[in-house]
Amino acid sequence: MTPDDAPAAERVTAVGFHELDTRMFRRSWPDPQLRPPERGAIWVDRVRHLIGTDPGGCWVAERDDELLGIVVSFVREKMWLLASYAVVPDSQGLGLGQALLAPALEHGRGCLRGMLNASSDPKAVRRYHAAGFTLHPQMFVRGSPDRTQIPVVEHVREGTEGDFDLMDSVDRRTRGAAHGVDHELLIRQFRLVVSETSSAQGYAYLDGGVVLLAATDRRTASRLMWESIASSDDVLIGHITPENSWAVDVGLAARLELNQEGYLALRNMRPPKPYLSHGALM
């Protein structure tokens, strides 16, 4: 995949993920072409960043000039990560997905660990299981919070680029690999908040809920999640593994709805905690 392929690749994911997007986000865009442009723009920006920082992990399948499938993978500190993977609906289930995943997995051959957010598509789950990933079911909370339940949030401040070293160190402690250059992308796209006391640290990117959260203890993680709930009337917080039951506690205390969707797929590692992963950058 080249940077010029990114807009057409975004269209492949819009069509390939249409059913999942509609179910997960409860926003009905009946025609995949109607996926909100701002979501598409974030996708293109992210994929160009990943091609720029790790081109060997990104591949396309094409017939004539038409893209039929895409895979976007990348490596950070000996961890292989899968950001996006889709085949257009008419070509699914015919082996194209397997052919695309093979060079992406090969790109991560020297890695110790692997991590990705899997959809509930049974075809995707078969591919990840066959590649040696263990599947950890995930929950999400969403809805309009009961504002009378939101506590005063202390020790949380706006974050800046000056916090990246602290954040990378929290990443290594929770996830086993820093996000590194990905923080440069995330801070452009989302609001960053940081919590730092003498004994605990954590950070979160927020956008109508939590986009990514990592902390050294559950109390700090809960504080950051409360900040995300306090700053939005329409909250969606996903990627909650059972190991992160503190997030279920906070979500239900705010009277959000608890649901299940997808899996955190891991190779040679335990589910990170306290941690809510980013959908594509994990």
Binding residues vs ligand COA (CB under 6 A): 16-17, 20, 85-87, 92-98, 118-119, 121-124, 126-127
- Rounded to a whole number of angstroms, the minimum distance from the CB of residue 123 to ligand COA is 4
| Secondary element (H or E) of residue 115 | strand 113-118
Residue 218, number of CB atoms within 10 A of its CB: 18
Judged by DSSP in three states, 151 sits in coil
Nearer Cβ to ligand COA (86/282): 86
Residue 140 or 164: which CB sits closer to ligand COA?
A: 140
Nearer to ligand COA, 30 or 162 (CB): 30
CA 71 vs CA 10, 94, 109, 224: distances in Å? 11, 16, 16, 32
**Least spacing, CB of residue 208 vs ligand COA, in Å:** 22
Would you mind telling me the total number of residues written for the chain in this entry? 282
Tokens of 39: 């979501």
Complex with ligand COA: residue 16 or 272, whichever CB lies closer: 16
Closest contact distance (angstroms) between CB of 125 and ligand COA is 8
The nearer residue to ligand COA, 119 or 244, going by C-beta atoms, is 119
Q: Considering the complex, what minimum distance in angstroms separates the CB of residue 37 from ligand COA?
A: 20
The whole-angstrom separation of Cα 218 and Cα 224 is 10
What stretch of H or E contains 257?
Answer: strand 257-267
Residue nearest to ligand COA (CB): 97
Rounded least distance, CB 178 to ligand COA, Å = 23
d(CA 223, CA 160): 18
Nearer to ligand COA (CB atom), residue 92 or residue 231: 92
Class of residue 120 by CB neighbours under 10 A (exposed 0-12, middle 13-18, buried 19+): middle
Of 116, 118, 46, nearest to 81 by C-alpha is 116
**Nearest distance from C-beta of residue 185 to ligand COA, angstroms:** 20
